[in-house]
Amino acid sequence: MKIYKGLEGFKKVRNPVVTVGTFDGVHIGHGKIFQRMAGIARECDGETVVITFHPHPRLVVHPDSKDLKFINTQERKYDLIEKTGIDHLVIIPFTPEFATTNASVFVKDILVDKIGVKELVVGYDHHFGKNRQGSFEELLNLAKKFDFQVEQIPVQDINNIAISSTKIRNALKEGNIKTANELLGYEYSITGPVVEGNKIGRKIGFPTANIELQDEYKLIMAIGVYACRVQWNGKIYLGMGNIGYRPTINNSDLTIEVHIFDFDEEIYGDTITIFFVDRIRDEEKFKDLDALRQQLIRDRVSTKKVLGRQ
């Protein structure tokens, strides 16, 4: 996949099959759009083009909002899009000035003049342009005016749950990781460098790798204990993770840590990725470290059962 940071370096390709969006999550619904684009491109001997924005439009339109969190970092989002087989990814800088672009200008100046769109594929809830005023009906009119085709992908659902980034974010905030993963189509993950902790886990036989979160807008799901997979140095290990405040040792800062099973490597400074599979329990405060250790022994048994069923 070729990545363009801005429109300047993009040169028109043959029969561009295009979609536009923020694609937070790159979930199953987005995957259906990308699959349909690939099918159309094969039929018309074209190439697929995804247009997205950086920073996320909500960060520009609502800069004072304190609760803006996103499922994936920008880098993770681009990686997930690339894995779908898309040919070109165009990242448009989203500025306050760009936010004032109305729907018809966006279509003419960018989709038609810059990209040369042959067919546009959008999701069921797609809106575009200033204040998201552009509707699918307006797209149909503009497509007729500028001679390109437009197709809308219907809502995708799993177990009668309509897939959307909002529903995935809500599931993560509630700790419902199984639902979130099902709607995403892959396991939600957090990546970061391993940093030194207080080594309390090591003292009770459960050493943990603590990771530092490097993206302030990364959504962190509900606190609790989770069954996990951990990627380090190109390999996958099993483990149990904790997101929380470690109340037994009176910790006041949110920590993200994982105990990796059957693992004894020095990895401080290395980057690991924790993939969250299932939620084991809420975070609890125990009377002392021995009580915590006994619970962690039970958690390890529960976690291995969960991961063994995967």
188 pLDDT higher than 90: yes
pLDDT at 3: 97
136 pLDDT higher than 90: no
Separation of alpha carbons 288 and 216, rounded Å: 33
Integer angstrom CA distances of residue 274 from 221, 249, 309:
13, 23, 18
**301: which residues sit within 8 A by CB, 6+ positions away?**
none
pLDDT band at 6 (very low <50, low <70, confident <90, very high): very high
Specify the DSSP class assigned to residue 228: E
Residue-range domains of the chain with CATH: 2-158 (3.40.50.620), 187-308 (2.40.30.30)
Secondary structure element (H or E) that encloses residue 80, with its range: helix 74-83
| Mean pLDDT of the 225-251 span | 91
Beta bridge pairs of residue 151 = 121
Phi, psi of 39 (to 5 degrees): -65, -45
pLDDT 10s digits, 65-106: 778 899 999 999 999 999 999 999 999 999 999 999 988 999
| Mean pLDDT of the 173-201 span | 93
Q: Which two tokens stand for residue 262?
A: 């059957």
Integer angstrom CA distances of residue 247 from 15, 43, 49:
58, 59, 48
pLDDT band at 115 (very low <50, low <70, confident <90, very high): very high
pLDDT 10s digits, 24-67: 989 999 999 999 999 999 999 999 999 999 999 989 988 887 78
170 pLDDT higher than 80: yes
Separation of alpha carbons 51 and 34, rounded Å: 12
Q: Determine the number of helices (DSSP H) and then strands (DSSP E) in the chain.
A: 9, 14
